[in-house]
Amino acid sequence: MRRIILLMTVGALVVVDTLLAVSVAGAHKHPTAMAKHPTRTVLIQDFSFKPAHITIKRGTKVRWINKDSTAHTATANNGRSFDSGSLGKGQSYTHTFKRAGKQRYHCEIHPHMKGRITVKR
Ligand SMILES: [Cu+2]
């Protein structure tokens, strides 16, 4: 009799473990986790960044898409935070902003093209 109770207890624990594992795995795929840190898009069009100034939350991804037929870059003014390198027509570059603060950037090929990202906590 004792043995049967022991086996049932072990069986119940296995079931609970499995349920926990399934719910944890499901949480990773949950769409709200994605919505919390959405991707913001900045178009590079007519030799300017559109919009030139954006404010985002820490952890947000910013994606630059070059809509011009001319090559452009999105390069941080401080020279180290991010640098897209040369983006040809239709090419894009994505960077995740992990630190709060202001990030000014420009196009290396056309220095008059300027943008700014404000990252909030
Ligand atoms: Cu440019």
Say whether pLDDT at 33 is over 80. Answer: no
Q: What is the 3-state secondary structure (H, E, C) of 14-57?
A: HHHHHHHHHHHHHHHHCHHHHHHCCEEEEEEECCEEECCEEEEE
Task: State the distance from the centre of ligand 1 to the C-alpha of 21, rounded, in angstroms.
Answer: 49
Q: What is the mean pLDDT of the chain?
A: 83
Q: What is the pLDDT of residues 64-77, one digit of tens each?
A: 999 999 999 999 99
Q: Give the pLDDT band of residue 18 (cuts 50, 70, 90).
A: very low
pLDDT reported for residue 38? 85
Q: Give the pLDDT band of residue 3 (cuts 50, 70, 90).
A: low
Task: State the distance from the centre of ligand 1 to the C-alpha of 77, rounded, in angstroms.
Answer: 14
89: which residues sit within 8 A by CB, 6+ positions away? 66, 67, 68, 69, 70, 71
pLDDT reported for residue 22? 45
Task: State the distance from the centre of ligand 1 to the C-alpha of 28, rounded, in angstroms.
Answer: 38
Task: State the distance from the centre of ligand 1 to the C-alpha of 52, rounded, in angstroms.
Answer: 13
pLDDT reported for residue 97? 97
Task: State the distance from the centre of ligand 1 to the C-alpha of 51, rounded, in angstroms.
Answer: 15
> Helix, strand, coil: what percent of the chain each, to 5?
30, 35, 35
Q: Give the pLDDT band of residue 26 (cuts 50, 70, 90).
A: very low
Task: State the distance from the centre of ligand 1 to the C-alpha of 106, rounded, in angstroms.
Answer: 8
Task: State the distance from the centre of ligand 1 to the C-alpha of 73, rounded, in angstroms.
Answer: 6
Task: State the distance from the centre of ligand 1 to the C-alpha of 63, rounded, in angstroms.
Answer: 16
Say whether pLDDT at 24 is over 50. Answer: no
Say whether pLDDT at 15 is over 50. Answer: no
